[in-house]
Amino acid sequence: MPIISIYDYGVVLRGFTRDSAGVYHFSPRLPGYSANNIPELNVYIYNFAGNATGPLTVEITGPFNSSAASTGVSTINSIASDGSNNTLVVRPNADLPEGVHTSTVRVRGGNGINVSFPVRFVVMPDAPATFPGIPLYVTAVPGIGSITLSWETPASDGGAVITEYQVSSDDGARWVDLPYPAYTYTFTNLIDGTQYTFRVRAVNVIGYGLHASAAATTPTVPGAPQNFTAATGNTRIPLTWAAPLDNGGSTITGYEVSRDSGVNWISPNPVTATTHTFTDLTNGTPYTFWVRAVNAVGSGPEVTATRTPAVSIL
């Protein structure tokens, strides 16, 4: 690390490279910059002797300034031996034109001893802007009659600010414009049990970039219950069944049973039970029993069984 002595102090530069002519350069030399993206150099003033006192005056000439004073002149009155709070940040002025810019940093001690060194900063032209990159981490999460598409910012904005995103549910035939920032969109009024493929792309002043895709299927009603049985009893019929093989893409919330071919439906207790017993039936009268599963979309197809209650004969 380059050190320049000044009486009982040391000036330590970080963030520069020094050429054979003794000129300090910003490294790396960055492309064109703005007031929100100004490179910095740290200048540390150390009290090597341990008993030296201020003030030290730091003067910056040319198109540079310091963190302590926008005029480029600042004073450090107390210099700690451990280097704490003895730091200045040197920055080029905002919006310098393309080209080479040179400044001089001079550190002057109270006894008149001073050191100075040139600093050079190169403003390189910005690369031409292009289309933004592909949105990242795209997901599609199904809901009831809807699917929510989510994404994150592309790795590159193409050198121009992203102004909006566009999403599509029909392979890009139509696009929905979403002003930036927007990282989610819910497609509604979708058909149950249908797979959809969605696209999302970023847009800047140049145009739209490549799209990213994600697919999801909207849930539908559950399938029919399995292994449905109806046993014969005295004025009663116990029913048992098992869960459907397919819940339709949505959790089964319960079941419904009927003893009159689906004219009236009731729920077992609890509603997620896979058994139910109908009582107070008339012996000798046949009954057709139905059972169906239910999820957030609705009721699925039923399965049936016909039984006649009767007195058991031993």
Query: In this structure, what are the phi and psi dihedrals at residue 249, rounded to the nearest 5 degrees?
Result: 90, 5
Q: Same CATH fold, 226-307 and 3-123? A: yes
Class level of CATH domain 226-307: mainly beta
Domain borders along the chain are 3-123, 136-217, 226-307
Alpha-carbon distance 265 to 290, whole Å? 9
For the domain made up of 136-217, give the CATH fold: Immunoglobulin-like (2.60.40)
Alpha-carbon distance 119 to 106, whole Å? 11
pLDDT in tens, the chain (314 residues): 445 555 555 566 655 566 666 665 654 445 555 555 566 666 666 665 555 556 667 777 777 666 554 555 666 666 655 555 566 676 677 667 777 777 777 777 655 667 777 777 676 666 678 999 999 999 999 999 999 999 999 999 998 899 999 999 999 999 999 999 999 999 999 999 999 999 999 999 999 999 999 999 999 999 999 999 999 999 999 999 999 999 999 999 999 999 998 899 999 999 999 999 999 999 999 999 999 999 999 999 999 999 999 987 65
Q: Considering the entire predicted model, what is its pTM? A: 0.58
Alpha-carbon distance 246 to 237, whole Å? 27
Give the Cβ contact number of residue 153 at 10 Å: 17
- Please list the residues that pair with 186 across neighbouring strands: 148
Tokens, residue 157: 């904005």
For the domain made up of 3-123, give the CATH fold: Immunoglobulin-like (2.60.40)
Residue 282 CA to its chain's centroid (Å): 64
Alpha-carbon distance 91 to 120, whole Å? 11
DSSP 124: B
Task: Tell me which residue of 146, 154, 289, 276 sits closest to 210, measured CA to CA.
Answer: 154
Beta carbons of 13 and 1 less than 8 angstroms apart: yes
- 114-123 vs 24-26, strand pairing mode: parallel
